[in-house]
Amino acid sequence: MSDLARIEAAAARLAGQTRVTPLLNAPLLDALAGRRIFVKAECLQWTGSFKFRGGWSAVSALPPEVRARGVIAYSSGNHAQGVALAAARHGVPAVIVMPVDAPRVKIENTKSYGAEVVLYDRVSEDRDAIGAALAKARGLTLIRPYDEPEVIAGQATVGLEIAAQAAEAGIAEADVITCCGGGGLTAGIALALEARAPGLRVRPAEPEGFDDTARSLASGRRERNAALAGSLCDAIVTPSPGEITFPILQRLCGPGLVVTDEEALRAMALAFTHLRIVVEPGGAVALAAALFRKDLPDTVICTASGGNVEPSLFADVLQRYA
């Protein structure tokens, strides 16, 4: 199956099951940035991030008899919630392997969607190994967070919507900045835009110190991060770009963008004030790049990819930066 055929099939399965999120903008935000910024507000997606798209896509693509045995996922929290809700709506069990240092709100919400949560240590344990062992023992199907074609196809529906919404807004050329972890969202959007809006170029954004994708795009091979924890942007910390996603990024994306944690927090505060949306740190790196990097075109579209943030952290951000 071609990439586009897979994406269109996923879009058909997602129709009516996932939310078409708005492309937001604000005159005062544009004035601050000195360019037009459009924000694809995936924080308004069910479960608070785009991950529900990939979760729904993958769970709905399984043969019914396989799906009925249940699914398993490992995730710092957004993929967890996406798979948990997708499984619940299909009436099948979900086991979610989560790092012990994941935001409490993400762990609690994953449990609320009815999933069984298994906690692990991000630094000393290997989530892939844990996931594979549990999957084998219980007959569960592992739903990988990004190196899985049906997940990428689900995230690609963000790109289909961006293409349609950009056309409606009269935008033919722009950089599309994505919040990039393993590259599922970035690869998906890049594939969708290649087919539907070739004037829109994708550029991945990452937090300083966890810029494996930017370095990999520069060097031409999959670079690894030195650390695997310690970023405020928990949602997008992965060891390295994915095996499936990286070749797509290499073929279709412009250079990566890197922002500091403080820039991500400032972007959260500006999204609060001017867009009235709640964005988590990892979901704000693309907006931070759109606001604070210089080498960008007059029109930029960026993903606000998630909004699952601890209230105390958000309150602190408002007090310091809003």
Could you list the residues that contact a copy of itself (CB under 8 A)?
19-22, 24, 26-28, 31, 41, 43-44, 46, 48, 85, 105, 109, 112-113, 269, 272-273, 275-279, 307-308, 311-312, 314-316, 318-319, 322
- Decide: residue 44, CB within 10 A, 0-12 exposed, 13-18 middle, 19+ buried: middle
Measure the CA–CA gap between 178 and 280, rounded to whole angstroms: 14
Closer to a copy of itself by Cβ: residue 41 or 214: 41
Closer to a copy of itself by Cβ: residue 19 or 69: 19
- For the bound state, the minimum distance from the C-beta of residue 259 to a copy of itself, rounded and expressed in Å, comes to 21
Closer to a copy of itself by Cβ: residue 218 or 322: 322
Rounded to a whole number of angstroms, the CA Rg of the chain reads 18
Query: Is the CB of residue 94 less than 8 Å from the CB of residue 114?
Result: yes
Measure the CA–CA gap between 47 and 110, rounded to whole angstroms: 9
Going by their DSSP bridges, the two strands 36-41 and 23-24 should be labelled as antiparallel
- For the bound state, the minimum distance from the C-beta of residue 108 to a copy of itself, rounded and expressed in Å, comes to 9
Closer to a copy of itself by Cβ: residue 272 or 292: 272
- Decide: residue 246, CB within 10 A, 0-12 exposed, 13-18 middle, 19+ buried: buried
Going by their DSSP bridges, the two strands 257-259 and 299-304 should be labelled as unpaired
- For the bound state, the minimum distance from the C-beta of residue 311 to a copy of itself, rounded and expressed in Å, comes to 3
- For the bound state, the minimum distance from the C-beta of residue 216 to a copy of itself, rounded and expressed in Å, comes to 31
- For the bound state, the minimum distance from the C-beta of residue 102 to a copy of itself, rounded and expressed in Å, comes to 16
- For the bound state, the minimum distance from the C-beta of residue 258 to a copy of itself, rounded and expressed in Å, comes to 25
* Vertex 144 angle, CA 223 and 189, to 5°: 70
Closer to a copy of itself by Cβ: residue 39 or 142: 39
Q: Where are the beta strands (DSSP E) in 58-184?
A: 71-74, 94-99, 116-120, 141-142, 174-179
Closer to a copy of itself by Cβ: residue 103 or 159: 103
- For the bound state, the minimum distance from the C-beta of residue 267 to a copy of itself, rounded and expressed in Å, comes to 14
Q: Is the dihedral of CA 249, 251, 252, 254 positive or negative?
A: positive
Closer to a copy of itself by Cβ: residue 33 or 105: 105
